[in-house]
Amino acid sequence: MVNLVETEENCCKIVSEDIEDAIILEGSPELGLIGNILGWLLVEELKMKQIGFIESKYFPPMAVLYNGVAIHPFRIYSSDNIVLFLSDFIIPPTVAFDMANAIVDWAEKNKSQEIITFNSIVVRQKSGGIAGAANSEKALEKLTQMDIPIIPYGNLNGLSGTLLTRSMVKGIPASCLFAEVLNQYPDPRAAASIVDTLNKKLNINVQTEPLLKEAEAIESRLKELANTVQEGQESPAYM
């Protein structure tokens, strides 16, 4: 029987196996759903095993259906020396601080190497590149060594920003990788732009083809919808 350990921080509780000396990835839905899309790709491509979940009475009342089976909306996966915290709902601002503390406490207890979170940056025109930020000069240097442009100023809200500040207090290196998005809609192509960097940083071999095919399907449906609207036809109720 697997030994599940509880890490509790006020309104949030992590129930999981202990995985020591791992790199922690965090993916939750923000603009473009970058973290969530990328997280699901990693689960599939790396055949990650679920090792736990996060629960809170402040979470939305929901379950996620995966292949017909109900699973927790915020799960924890592991593969080799990688641990992924993956959420399928937008983290409420009132919960983000406690959740970040719970994840950082878990990382400290398990002597995690570093934390990498994913987010997005809104641009007027995409270049196909990514950008980064970190919680220390040393962590920032690792990004620059990989030729990742650094975001010099701005605000990083939500769980990503809080993870960077709370991990800084604990002395755990952390960084955020940003993909370029045009709006709030799901953007698999933007998520794919981060994959090459992750492959190099984590020494893995995740393919981008599934995301690019998904992006093409979404773009095709958007074009069909635009044509329908231009022709004055009634818009469909769903895409």
Residue whose tokens read 């044509």: 227
Helix (DSSP H) and strand (DSSP E) numbers for the chain? 7, 11
pLDDT in tens, 81-133: 999 999 999 898 889 999 999 999 999 999 999 999 999 999 998 888 999 99
- 228 pLDDT more than 70: no
Give burial (CB, 10 Å; 0-12/13-18/19+) of 126: middle
- 233 pLDDT more than 80: no
Output the pLDDT for position 94: 87
Output the pLDDT for position 1: 45
Work out the pLDDT band at 239, boundaries 50, 70, 90: very low
Nearest alpha-carbon partner for 144 in 160, 155, 133 = 133
Output the pLDDT for position 236: 44
Work out the pLDDT band at 237, boundaries 50, 70, 90: very low
Specify the CATH superfamily of domain 5-230: PAC-like subunit (3.40.50.10900)
Can you give the pTM of this predicted structure?
0.88
What's the rounded Cα separation, in Å, for the pair 24 and 208? 21
**Mean pLDDT to the nearest integer, 52-62:** 91
Q: What is the mean pLDDT of the chain?
A: 88
Output the pLDDT for position 126: 86
Across the chain, the runs of DSSP E, i.e. the strands, are: 5-9, 12-16, 23-27, 49-55, 64-66, 69-71, 74-79, 82-87, 114-122, 130-134, 174-181
Work out the pLDDT band at 44, boundaries 50, 70, 90: very high
Identify the residue with better confidence: 220 or 71: 71
pLDDT in tens, 164-205: 999 999 999 999 999 999 988 888 989 999 999 999 999 999
Query: What is the domain partition of the chain in residue ranges?
Result: 5-230
% of residues, the chain, pLDDT over 90: 66
pLDDT in tens, 23-38: 999 999 888 899 999 9
Report yes or no: 103 and 14 within 8 Å, Cβ to Cβ: yes
Give burial (CB, 10 Å; 0-12/13-18/19+) of 141: exposed
Output the pLDDT for position 231: 58
What's the rounded Cα separation, in Å, for the pair 40 and 45? 9
Residue whose tokens read 């009634």: 234
- 210 pLDDT more than 90: no
Helix 209-230 and helix 34-45, axial crossing angle in degrees, nearest 10:
140
Give burial (CB, 10 Å; 0-12/13-18/19+) of 200: exposed
What's the rounded Cα separation, in Å, for the pair 132 and 238? 35
